[in-house]
Amino acid sequence: MELHLIFITLGALFLLVLFADQFGRRTRLPRVTLLLFCGVAVGSSGLDILPPEASYWYEFLTIAALTMVAFLLGSSLSLKSLRKHGATIMAISLSVVIVTIVVVGAGLWALGVELGLALLLGAIATATDPAATQDVIQQARAKGGFVKTLTGIVAIDDAWGVLAFSQILILVGLLNGGESNGGLLDAVWEITGALVLGLALGWPGAYLTGRLAKGGPQQTEALGLVFLCAGLALWLNVSFLIAGMTAGAVIVNVARHHSRAFHEIKHVQWPLMILFFILAGASLDVGVLSSVGLMGLGYIILRIFARIIGGWFGAHLVRAPSEQRFWFGIALLPQAGVAMGFALIAAESFPIYAEAILTVTIGTTVVFELLGPSGTLLALRKTGSTKT
């Protein structure tokens, strides 16, 4: 891509965001949804005016932006917060994952979908989109107990999802006459390796960052740890989300010489998030919705129902405030990159299901990415977490 096209494209996209941001303020629509719509408009499903080379930025921006989100989510898991909300976070996150697999898997099977395929789609349905959820919270300037619990759930539910998905891979393999423990071993390494990496970076980082300037880490320190974490996670083939979250959690709990863990990340995160969401929208193939069919429609309805029931049940178990119980599941509707990762692994592991898995996942991800943030914003308003 020629240099002048890079600058023109970046300039045009940033100015487009100004319009989306102002439109969102006036209509109260989630900023994430508007950015995704902008991406769809300029991408191949719309006007197709985005240079093809821009797609090469997507992988880097995805990893960079999501690792920053992971650090910020981790920094919300202070011991003080966990002592207050930890039981609620654990109960709701586990409940949502388990209920989602059972309801989506059993529901699709009842609709006539083959059992193995139904179970795989149920496992894929557990994935969420931490970036979209976090951005809606920031846009709404939401605060309070519901927000702290929701942030904690988003921080750890994909870890439960990875474990559950690996178990389903093994179960479906056995149903199809195979014998393999590779899925479980890979999941254990992806999670435990990420935890070790997060500890290895977070512990010294807690003592070293924020020493040069009073008040908190500088941008160079924060970015250095974020990019080092992402790079090492990719090299070691572990989850950069879990590694970043762990490092952020270690730093916020161990660093006593500053009070704002990676506060400077917020200053540089938004430009990356802008490009990430727009390019995510540009990569969505809206045309695939027409081929989703009854199975895709069933997946959408069952996943929404499962999130609501799972969130309510977990919240009921720990006696969360009654006015919040219904809204946890609604707030957890966004679904994106992690689901696609699960889908690609499942398609590779079971080629006989590959076309159905990819079609349903891609098609329904379009729906949940465009409409899910509105559910999160609605939940924040209904629970009194935002003033608007």
Sequential pLDDT tens for the chain (388 residues): 567 777 777 787 777 777 776 776 666 666 666 777 777 777 776 777 777 667 677 778 778 877 887 787 777 667 776 676 678 888 888 899 999 999 999 999 998 888 888 999 999 898 887 777 877 887 778 888 888 888 888 877 777 877 788 778 778 877 776 545 455 577 678 778 888 998 998 888 777 765 555 555 566 777 888 889 999 998 998 888 788 888 888 887 877 655 555 666 666 667 777 777 777 777 666 666 665 678 888 999 999 999 999 999 998 888 888 888 899 989 888 887 677 777 867 876 788 887 788 778 877 877 887 788 888 888 988 888 776 5
Extents of the domains making up the chain: 3-382
Secondary structure (3-state) at 176: coil
> Exposed e or buried b for every residue in 105-121, given b needs 16+ CB within 10 A?
bbbbbeeebbebbbbbb
Torsion angle, CA of 344/350/355/361, rounded to 10 degrees? -40
Asked whether the beta carbons of 250 and 203 are under 8 A apart, the reply is: yes
pLDDT digit string, tens, across residues 301-346: 999 999 999 999 998 888 888 888 899 989 888 887 677 777 867 8
Q: Which two tokens stand for residue 303?
A: 């996943």
pTM: 0.69
- The second-level CATH assignment, the architecture, of 3-382 is Up-down Bundle (1.20)
Asked whether the beta carbons of 243 and 198 are under 8 A apart, the reply is: yes
> What's 112-170 look like in SS3?
CCCHHHHHHHHHHCCCCCHHHHHHHHHHHCCCCHHHHHHHHHHHHHHHHHHHHHHHHHH
Task: Tell me how long the chain is.
Answer: 388
Q: Is 238 left (phi over 0), alpha (psi -120 to 50) or beta?
A: beta
Smallest Cα–Cα separation from 102: which of 293, 297, 305, 296? 305
Asked whether the beta carbons of 226 and 273 are under 8 A apart, the reply is: no
pLDDT at 98: 92
Radius of gyration of the chain (CA): 20
Asked whether the beta carbons of 262 and 304 are under 8 A apart, the reply is: no
Q: Which two tokens stand for residue 197?
A: 């990496």
**What span, in angstroms and rounded, lies between the C-alpha atoms of 198 and 191?**
10
**What span, in angstroms and rounded, lies between the C-alpha atoms of 346 and 243?**
23
pLDDT at 301: 92
